[in-house]
Structure 1
Amino acid sequence: MAAAKEGRKAPSRKSAAEEQLPGIEDARTAFAPALSGALERPRSMLRALRFRPPQLLHLEGGEAADRVALALWWAALLNCDDPEVMEPRASAMGPCLSCSSCLRLGVNMHPDLILLDGREGSIKIDDVRGLRSILGEKPHFSRWRVIIAAEAQALGIEAANSLLKVLEDPCPDTCFVFTAPQRERLLPTLVSRGWVVTLPWPEAGRPLAEELRPWEQALGRFVSEGRGWLDMTAARNGMDAAKAHQILLIGQKALADCLAGREGGMLAAVFRRMPAQALMQVDELFVECQDQLQAQVSPLLVLDSMAARLHILARR
């Protein structure tokens, strides 16, 4: 655990760029998912940790937008310019979300916030190596430097091992935050080095996001009829690991809907026609594909192989 910082004031240096504050609405839009009533318990846990923040914090559960917004909220809580936020008597207070520090953190314009965004693709070892030159420095304007690995399941094996080596050495005035759907998607050695805060799990049976429905329909049609899928993936040459994980989750959700007796979509209907033994093989296939994406196998290759093997299982 990091040393207590109660009462410590942030440095007062300001550059010309710092005077140009982002709009309050832009910042508050970024924080909005973290402010829902459903996340009051995780926020309460973070408020209790703010005087002695762990070097590494894991945020699991919820949706990706909830996890990343709460990571930004945590960064704002640690660095809010409102002096009352760090008073022990103000244990129920959150960040003000309107001071210079909060606004900049909300829109990723703060010099002491580093965001490695796995939502945009895999987090590579060069991204991690770039941290080493700054970790020995004190934060420029804040009490704490915060490094967020958003959707850290996108860490490549080399990048994850490199981060593990970074965490083996004390990093004064630096807090790491990893967000992931489940802690099991990360290296166990990384999970063991941090605190885990679990957000409420998504409601079972919730409809797919609108942008994922064409993929669910295409996969269901291919598994059933053996056509259409390869044309769709061929048109997506820019397919990255983050998008592939979302498509894999379509299959996992369809399997869960099938097993729970929920109606689901076209793919769940295909699964309902398959015997129990085949459904066990489908589950094992999804785990295998997840491991392949984690090992940075080509996302298109993983998805096309998954679709072909699901079609074979359905035909049998």
Structure 2
Amino acid sequence: MAVKTTKTAAEEQLPTREEAEAAFALALDARQGRVRAALDKLASDPPQVLILEGGSVEERFSVALWHAARLNCPDPQPPCLHCPSCLQIGASLFQDLYILDGREGSIKIETVRELRTILGEAPRGDGKRVVILAEAQSLGVEAANALLKSLEEPRPSVCFLLLAPQRERLLPTLVSRGWVVTLAWPEADTPSTPELRQWEDALADFIGSGQGWFDRTSAKGAVDAALARRIVLSVQKAQAAVLARRNGGPLGERLAVLPDAGHLHVNDLLAQCQESLDYTVSPPLVLNWLATRLHLAYRHARLRAARGTA
């Protein structure tokens, strides 16, 4: 996985405002108003390492781009979202923006080493050089240690943005060097996309019947790491809804039959799935493992309930 360097406007046609603003849409949501206010306060003297936790994968990345625009926009009240810098950042084309993308796989040590050769250079523009590590929990141990070496050297012109679901998913030595900003956590009743809803329905059917799931996951290219993480998050949201006595949809109906001990077991299952995806275990394998154990937990709970009423 190579470092994604951006191109100048001379090399790429400047994106339209609508195209670029789409990347900032989640960051501009009212739910993240507190986060934007916190980043505004940090912008005058930004920390070299900023950790963005909470929210969803997409929200963390959108907020990271918004902060990069905030640090590089020349407008008196940045980000204006319509100057060349903002437009280029929104389209990931900015000359001082570097993205190490762990959303679909691990971030390798070679990628971090490639980045280190760039960091010694001064930014090409008047703002900050921003390095986004999307889903930084995907850093391998060697890559994380290589990154630490870069962080040991003061680089006032560079800002590292480490994105992760929770700070605990990162090496403690990385967290100790950073300033943490927590996004609004996903709401249990946030509607799913049509594609994700199909997967949620299929998983709910499998939990109840034990049939049909493996046909979906075995199709070539059907599941990548990003989709697998969204499905795991769907189970988390459904469980949160059940525990709060709200409607958790089809998945919530299946999870609602579990006893308290069963929900603790589901928490452990989901944590293991997240860790496995961080270490690049095959996404279909992770989802099949989760689906099978949720089916067994559901069946066991139903059997216990039947014996109790017999």
Fold match by TM threshold 0.5: yes
| Residue 223 (structure 2) aligns with | 239
| Residue 81 (structure 1) aligns with | 74
CA drift of 1:265 comes to: 2.2
| Residue 226 (structure 1) aligns with | 210
How far does the alpha carbon of each residue in 1:33-89 deviate from its partner, in whole angstroms, 9 at most, with x for none? 32334333222222222221111111223333332222112112222233xx3xxxx
Task: Tell me, yes or no, if the aligned pair for 2:52 and 2:161 is still in contact at 8 Å.
Answer: yes
Q: 1:156 to 1:239 in 2, by over 3 A?
A: farther
Map 1:299-314 to 2 at 5 A. Answer: 299-314=283-298
Aligned residues: 294
| Residue 62 (structure 1) aligns with | 55
Instruction: Name which of 167, 192, 195 aligns with 1:211.
Output: 195
How far does the alpha carbon of each residue in 1:266-315 deviate from its partner, in whole angstroms, 9 at most, with x for none? 22212222333223222212112222222222222221112122222222
Q: 1:251 to 1:36 in 2, by over 3 A?
A: closer
Indicate the SS of the match to 2:234: helix
Instruction: Name which of 13, 17, 23 aligns with 1:30.
Output: 23
Q: Counterparts of 2:299 and 2:33 in 1: how far apart (Å)?
A: 48
CA drift of 1:15 comes to: 7.2
Segments of 5+ residues of structure 2 without an aligned counterpart are: 1-6, 301-310
| Residue 177 (structure 2) aligns with | 193
Q: 1:281 to 1:62 in 2, by over 3 A?
A: closer
Normalised to the residue count of structure 2, the TM-score between the two structures is: 0.85
Segments of 5+ residues of structure 1 without an aligned counterpart are: 1-13, 86-92
**Greater displacement, 162-171 / 18-27:** 18-27
Task: Tell me, yes or no, if the aligned pair for 1:122 and 1:240 is still in contact at 8 Å.
Answer: no
**Greater displacement, 105-114 / 15-24:** 15-24
Q: Counterparts of 1:152 and 1:246 in 2: how far apart (Å)?
A: 17
Q: Counterparts of 1:40 and 1:305 in 2: how far apart (Å)?
A: 38
How far does the alpha carbon of each residue in 1:92-121 deviate from its partner, in whole angstroms, 9 at most, with x for none? x32222222222112111111012233344
CA drift of 1:176 comes to: 0.6
Q: 1:300 to 1:135 in 2, by over 3 A?
A: same
Instruction: Name which of 113, 118, 122 aligns with 2:102.
Output: 118
CA drift of 1:136 comes to: 0.8
Q: Counterparts of 1:161 and 1:221 in 2: how far apart (Å)?
A: 43
CA drift of 1:146 comes to: 0.4
Q: Counterparts of 2:140 and 2:224 in 1: how far apart (Å)?
A: 13
Map 1:61-210 to 2 at 5 A. Answer: 61-82=54-75, 85=76, 93-210=77-194
Q: Counterparts of 1:245 and 1:19 in 2: how far apart (Å)?
A: 32
Task: Tell me, yes or no, if the aligned pair for 2:188 and 2:238 is still in contact at 8 Å.
Answer: no
Amino acid at match of 2:38: M
Normalised to the residue count of structure 1, the TM-score between the two structures is: 0.83
Q: 1:152 to 1:104 in 2, by over 3 A?
A: same
CA drift of 1:148 comes to: 0.8
CA drift of 1:263 comes to: 2.3
Task: Tell me, yes or no, if the aligned pair for 1:60 and 1:180 is still in contact at 8 Å.
Answer: yes
Task: Tell me, yes or no, if the aligned pair for 2:107 and 2:138 is still in contact at 8 Å.
Answer: yes
Q: Counterparts of 1:23 and 1:290 in 2: how far apart (Å)?
A: 36
Amino acid at match of 2:24: F
| Residue 6 (structure 1) aligns with | none
Shift >4 Å, 4+ stretches = none
CA drift of 1:20 comes to: 4.7
| Residue 292 (structure 1) aligns with | 276
Amino acid at match of 1:141: G
